[in-house]
Structure 1
């Protein structure tokens, strides 16, 4: 089947992937997109409905694999796209433990030392308090690394709402409630392609 710009496109779920996919498709010129979800945006069933999510820049050597490419594209949007940019807070990222032995056993730290040699070593209470003033105790044995470049957190819930509003503006249709709660698919008996979706309310 050839997908035309006016082809009917159904997206099940209006969480992080559903909304970002719908928005991306509208920007590619697709004009007939409908999203379905049992809850309105931000959905209580979406993992993206959260006040914050950590964003750490991808670390890789050579040609990035698919998950890394997705993260690189996401990083570009968090830094540049007006739909997402206001909700990204590049405050840095700190990876720490209560002992150097425990810290060094982390695969994240092993990769960090290899791929981010400019990460700042924090090995005294004063260095920790430079970035986390709430750490007022003695911090015995604590050691960690602080990364500055494009690291931080995103306000996930607000970015979902922003993407939803951008989708509405672009003409995406939304179906919520029992009509949007898709719990069954119908298939072509010969090709096994999906021919219809069925909602909890029974609507096709």
Structure 2
């Protein structure tokens, strides 16, 4: 079984990725690898931030690792919050404040179309590979559901009537942008 260090401290993301990968990979979190750092995300694209995180961990450990960066991109807001999704309402990383700001900014617009986009940076045998996953949907007028994290309570994927926060983790996995990016990663590793 391949072991990969996942460059994150976000337990929600770890749970989602472990569910998606099943027993094919042994995923080790930063904490489990004995790494206690908060890696900055200073860049203007998801690709650059994902790259930054995996390169920092690879430089520290010299082991195979991956990271991801995810953003919610809202059409009517010119792609905001995008790369700033986690800190949309300020550096405090408050999901509540981020959602509130999003709903206020989107209120005057009729177009509620949005998409979640995930970029995974994998460093395998000292080479970097990028994988992208997209889930299209729309933003609701208010929060619905209590599962998930981030913007899940206001995002309804196409072909569903439920927000991500109204779904079980297994249901969310059917639409998940993160899972789509992971499937590309798995296919890549499996076909080597």
Q: Shorter chain as normaliser: what TM range?
A: under 0.3
Larger Rg computed on CA atoms: 1
* Higher RCO, Cα 8 Å, sep 6+: 1
TM-score by length of 1: 0.23
More helix by share: 2
